[in-house]
């Protein structure tokens, strides 16, 4: 009898032990972001969001006694560097998931590496068409251009009823080109005639000739698809040559530097945002408060997306009860109706994010909802 | 192809203005670059980084210390002269002492350039800066009423500055004692030394002048493009080199002329060629190539600073 009891006790303990297999004490999360160069304002912002997210997750004990550890490298907005950094994160640091990279152009080069190695990737700033199509390990919480642009354009069209539009984009940059294509399609669908389209290349700083050509066709609205480095001079030169028609900026303009350095030129700019710093969502307010306290400046859309990526990852790991890369991937696909600072968040069947977006405008030197 | 553009004289005049201003910028940048090449036979590839630092120096002087434009320009030129002097003392002179060849000097300048850019990235971060509007009113003037050709204060300043600098440099090289000494050193360093010229001193002056010119170029570019970032040298670097080759290495008037040509070609390509903004670089360098086929030593020929 005693022997039977002993065997039963040991079995129960063993089964109990297997079921309660704990997560490792340290869970390495990798990240590749543009920390230097023109696009560093996005990368550093994302980094801050991720770090705040990790700090809060660790402090709250969400994953029990396990703690996230961030391993982050600079992808320098360069494809080669992106591939090299991804390899390092996957093989040397053996991270469970990678958050990043910052630019879609870099992503098209380095994400296939992760897909092949079976490492989940969560993009927090990748909006170009085709990102999640790279494979079933690729996720993003940054609303793709195709999701945001039609809504933004509809809002602008309702207010200004434009008939003609002109477009300026960067021809040798994947994000900008992709956004320009999405805009062209959205404009056509909305019945707005694209009367002029001009482009510039990497390193250009004087856009006056292109802008004059656009303005000569007298469009009712202008659409600019630029990264932050060019966004500000484009805006300023546009105002300088006398453009007063409404200006619609792409995702690259979702950066507080546009207001800070663009100053009066940014006034009246309209952008399709996935998030807005004065959003009334309680989780967002809490995030804004903590972020501002920790970093001394208000967060932007990229920071909140980085922060939310950590929350999504933590939730996926907790639900899976494991840090096995394939298990995390499967768990990520099941994220539905999660309450985040971005609003109610879900991944769709293509691993793209589903959450409400909003057009915002610059009014009186601050972002405000566009109405 | 939109033929209506060709018939528009205002558009043509506008492109002349934009193209010449763009070209004048290249010219001012190239003068300093070609001077060092003319005198020392080395390609100072740190000229672009110097130019960038001077733009930041101007930014600090005008945006943070609130100084007016003339003082900001002076600050930038002084900064340029100082950086150029440092380059000479740290990157070039030690190699010259060892009798190293010109290629080593060029590589040394590449290293110096990387250091300067990294320092700027660490010091200033990546966000773009611009001068405050108080420095120079950005509101452009429209010649002949609002439909007319637009020219901004920055463009006027750039055009004026490039002409003034070209004339001043020409006079300096041809009419002053130091100018003669520079020409002598450019012709033959050893002979100049034998004639009692303080060669190292002349080289120092050359660098100071080239640096000051980089400083002026930095401020002018920053005024026109409103985009001061640590990476701002990379775009003008290649064009500066192209302009210097186009104009004849070591030739100051050639550098300015080459600058105007490149600026006009770029602007006219964007304006008149369909899809021009994408291929403007290809067209500009293609034209460069054609000109070099006809005149391999550049438009003004291989007249170094020694041939007056």
What is the CATH number for B260?
1.10.3470
- Partner-chain contact A240 B234, CB within 8 Å: no
ipTM value, please give it: 0.74
In angstroms, the CA B230 to CA B126 distance is 7
Shared domain for A242 and A301, answered yes or no, is: no
Tokens encoding B72: 């900001």
Question: Is B303 inside a domain boundary?
Answer: no
Give the tens place of pLDDT for each residue, B190-232.
899 999 999 989 999 999 999 999 999 999 988 888 888 888 8
pLDDT string in tens for chain A (371-residue length): 566 666 665 655 555 444 445 789 999 999 999 988 778 889 999 999 999 999 999 999 999 889 999 999 999 999 999 999 999 999 999 999 999 899 999 999 999 999 999 999 999 999 888 999 999 999 999 988 888 888 889 889 999 999 999 999 998 888 899 999 999 999 999 999 999 999 998 878 888 889 988 988 899 999 999 988 888 889 988 988 888 899 999 888 888 888 888 888 888 899 988 888 888 889 999 999 999 999 988 899 999 999 999 999 999 999 999 899 999 999 999 999 999 998 889 999 999 998 878 889 998 888 888 87
Collect all residues of chain A within an 8 Å Cβ-Cβ radius of residue B222.
none
Shared domain for A56 and A123, answered yes or no, is: yes
Tokens encoding A282: 């309680």
**pLDDT at B125 > cutoff 70:** yes
- Of A215, A240, A273, the residue that ends a domain is A273
- Partner-chain contact B150 A242, CB within 8 Å: yes
Q: Name the residue among A247, A271, A262, A61 with its Cα closest to residue A149.
A: A271
- Residue A69 CB burial class (10 angstroms; 0-12, 13-18, ≥19): middle
Q: Is B225 on the interface with A (CB under 8 A)?
A: yes
Question: Is A334 inside a domain boundary?
Answer: yes
In angstroms, the CA B116 to CA B53 distance is 8
**pLDDT at B307 > cutoff 50:** no
- Partner-chain contact B127 A204, CB within 8 Å: no
Shared domain for A153 and A265, answered yes or no, is: yes
Smallest CA–CA distance, residue B126 to chain A, in Å, is: 5
Smallest CA–CA distance, residue B127 to chain A, in Å, is: 6
Question: Is B122 inside a domain boundary?
Answer: no
- Of A255, A273, A291, the residue that ends a domain is A273
Q: Which pTM does this prediction carry?
A: 0.77
Question: Which residues touch B53 (CB under 8 Å, ≥6 apart)?
Answer: B79, B80, B83, B116, B120, B218
Question: Is A348 inside a domain boundary?
Answer: yes
Shared domain for A123 and A56, answered yes or no, is: yes
Question: Is B24 inside a domain boundary?
Answer: yes
Confidence of residue B275 (pLDDT cuts 50, 70, 90): confident
List the single residue in B126, B133, B231 with the smallest CB-CB distance to A41: B126
Shared domain for A129 and A192, answered yes or no, is: no
Distances (CA, A) of B36 to A67, B169, B173, B197, B199: 58, 13, 13, 18, 14
Q: Which residues of chain A have a Cβ shorter than 8 Å from any chain B Cβ? A: 36-41, 44, 171, 198-201, 203-206, 208-210, 212-213, 216, 228-230, 232-233, 236-237, 240-242, 257, 260-261, 263
List the single residue in A36, A233, A242 with the smallest CB-CB distance to B227: A233
Q: What range defines the domain where residue A109 resides? A: 26-143+279-356
Q: What is the pLDDT of residue B288?
A: 82
Residue to mutate among A205, A231, A234, with most B CBs inside 10 A, is A205
**pLDDT at B117 > cutoff 80:** yes
Say if strands A270-273 and A247-249 run parallel, antiparallel, or are unpaired. Answer: parallel
Shared domain for A189 and A250, answered yes or no, is: yes
In angstroms, the CA B37 to CA B298 distance is 14
Shared domain for A257 and A242, answered yes or no, is: yes
**Mean pLDDT of all residues in B127-136:** 76
Q: What range defines the domain where residue B68 resides? A: 10-116+151-294
Q: Do residues B213 and B31 lie in contact, with contact meaning Cβ atoms separated by under 8 Å?
A: yes
Shared domain for A160 and A84, answered yes or no, is: no
Question: Is A14 inside a domain boundary?
Answer: no
Shared domain for A169 and A246, answered yes or no, is: yes
Q: Name the residue among B216, B211, B240, B236 with its Cα closest to residue B163.
A: B216
Question: Is A366 inside a domain boundary?
Answer: no
B142 forms beta bridges with B150
Q: Is B299 on the interface with A (CB under 8 A)?
A: no
Shared domain for A248 and A230, answered yes or no, is: yes
Question: Is A370 inside a domain boundary?
Answer: no
Query: Average pLDDT of chain B?
Result: 86
Question: Is B146 inside a domain boundary?
Answer: no
Question: Is A266 inside a domain boundary?
Answer: yes
Shared domain for A297 and A328, answered yes or no, is: yes
Domain total of chain A: 2
Question: Which residues touch B258 (CB under 8 Å, ≥6 apart)?
Answer: B26, B27, B30, B242, B243, B244, B245, B246, B247, B248, B298, B299
Q: Is B150 on the interface with A (CB under 8 A)?
A: yes
Q: What is the pLDDT of residue A240?
A: 84
List the single residue in B125, B140, B229 with the smallest CB-CB distance to A240: B140
DSSP state of A221: E
Give the tens place of pLDDT for each residue, B7-39.
778 888 888 999 999 999 999 999 999 999 888
Smallest CA–CA distance, residue A203 to chain B, in Å, is: 5
Question: Is A285 inside a domain boundary?
Answer: yes
Question: Is B126 inside a domain boundary?
Answer: no
Say if strands A221-225 and A270-273 run parallel, antiparallel, or are unpaired. Answer: unpaired
Q: What is the pLDDT of residue B13?
A: 87
Shared domain for A320 and A264, answered yes or no, is: no
Smallest CA–CA distance, residue B277 to chain A, in Å, is: 6
Q: What is the pLDDT of residue A18?
A: 45
Domain total of chain B: 1
Give the tens place of pLDDT for each residue, A274-307.
888 888 889 999 999 999 999 988 899 999 999 9
- Residue A101 CB burial class (10 angstroms; 0-12, 13-18, ≥19): buried
Share of chain A above pLDDT 90, in %: 57
Give the tens place of pLDDT for each residue, B25-74.
999 999 999 999 888 888 899 999 999 999 999 999 988 888 888 898 99
- Of A256, A273, A290, the residue that ends a domain is A273
Question: Is B302 inside a domain boundary?
Answer: no
Question: Is A362 inside a domain boundary?
Answer: no
Count interface pairs A-B at CB distance under 8 A: 93
Tokens encoding B222: 């920053």
What is the CATH number for A216?
3.40.50.2300
Q: What is the pLDDT of residue B2?
A: 58
Question: Is B125 inside a domain boundary?
Answer: no
Lowest mean pLDDT among A1-15, B134-148, B279-293: A1-15
């Amino acid at each position: 009898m005693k022997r039977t009891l002993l065997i039963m006790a040991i079995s129960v303990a063993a089964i109990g032990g297997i079921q309660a297999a704990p997560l490792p004490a340290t869970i390495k999360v990798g990240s590749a972001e543009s920390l230097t160069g023109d696009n560093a304002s996005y990368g550093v912002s994302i980094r801050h969001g991720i770090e705040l997210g990790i700090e809060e997750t660790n402090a709250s004990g969400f994953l029990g006694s396990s703690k996230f550890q961030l391993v982050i490298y600079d992808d320098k907005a360069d494809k080669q560097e992106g591939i090299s950094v991804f390899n390092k994160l996957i093989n040397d640091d053996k991270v469970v998931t990678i958050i990043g990279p910052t630019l879609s152009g870099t992503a098209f080069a380095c994400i296939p590496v992760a897909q092949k190695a079976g490492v989940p990737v969560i993009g927090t700033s990748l909006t170009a068409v085709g990102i999640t199509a790279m494979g079933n390990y690729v996720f993003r919480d940054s609303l793709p251009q195709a999701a945001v642009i039609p809504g933004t354009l509809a809002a602008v069209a309702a207010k200004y009823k434009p008939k003609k539009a002109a477009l300026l984009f960067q021809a040798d940059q994947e994000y900008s080109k992709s956004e320009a294509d999405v805009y062209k399609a959205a404009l056509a669908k909305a019945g707005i005639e694209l009367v002029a389209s001009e482009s510039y290349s990497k390193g250009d700083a004087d856009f006056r000739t292109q802008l004059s050509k656009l303005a000569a066709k007298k469009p009712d609205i202008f659409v600019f698809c630029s990264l932050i480095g060019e966004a500000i001079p484009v805006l300023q030169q546009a105002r300088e040559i006398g453009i007063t028609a409404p200006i619609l900026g792409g995702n690259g303009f979702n950066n507080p530097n546009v207001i800070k350095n663009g100053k009066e030129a940014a006034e009246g700019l309209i952008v399709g945002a996935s998030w807005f710093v004065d959003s009334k969502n309680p989780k967002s307010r809490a995030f804004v408060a903590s972020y501002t306290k920790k970093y001394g400046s208000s967060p932007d859309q990229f920071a909140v997306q980085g922060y939310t990526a950590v929350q999504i990852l933590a939730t996926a790991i907790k639900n899976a009860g494991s840090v096995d890369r394939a298990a995390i991937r499967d768990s990520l696909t099941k994220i539905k109706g999660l309450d985040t600072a971005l609003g109610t968040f879900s991944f769709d069947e293509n691993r793209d994010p589903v959450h409400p977006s909003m057009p915002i405008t610059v009014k009186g030197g601050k972002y405000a909802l566009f109405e | 192809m939109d033929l209506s553009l060709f018939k528009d004289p205002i558009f043509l005049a506008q492109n002349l203005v934009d193209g010449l201003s763009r070209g004048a910028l290249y010219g001012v940048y190239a003068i300093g670059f070609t001077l060092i090449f003319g005198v020392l036979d080395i390609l100072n590839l740190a000229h672009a980084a110097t130019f960038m630092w001077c733009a930041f120096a101007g930014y600090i002087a005008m945006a943070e210390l609130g100084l007016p434009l003339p003082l900001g320009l002076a600050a930038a030129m002084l900064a340029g002269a100082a950086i150029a002097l440092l380059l000479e003392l740290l990157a070039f002179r030690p190699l010259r002492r060892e009798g190293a060849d010109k290629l080593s000097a060029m590589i040394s300048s590449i290293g110096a350039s990387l250091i300067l850019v990294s320092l700027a990235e660490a010091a200033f971060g990546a966000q773009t800066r611009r001068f405050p509007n108080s420095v120079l009113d950005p509101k452009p003037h429209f010649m002949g009423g609002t439909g007319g050709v637009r020219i901004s204060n920055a463009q006027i300043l750039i055009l004026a500055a490039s002409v003034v600098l070209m004339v001043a440099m020409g006079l300096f090289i041809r009419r002053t004692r130091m100018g003669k000494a520079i020409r002598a050193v450019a012709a033959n360093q050893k002979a100049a030394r034998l004639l009692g010229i303080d060669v190292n001193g002349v080289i120092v002056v050359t660098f100071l002048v080239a640096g000051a010119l980089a400083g002026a170029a930095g401020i002018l570019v920053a005024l026109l493009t409103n985009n001061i970032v640590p990476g701002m040298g990379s775009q003008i670097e290649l064009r500066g080199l192209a302009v210097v080759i186009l104009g004849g290495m070591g030739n100051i008037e050639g550098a300015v002329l080459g600058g105007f040509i490149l600026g006009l070609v770029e602007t006219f390509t964007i304006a008149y060629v369909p899809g021009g903004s994408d291929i403007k670089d290809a067209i500009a360098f293609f034209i460069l190539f054609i000109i070099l086929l006809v005149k391999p030593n550049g438009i003004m020929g291989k007249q170094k600073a020694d041939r007056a």
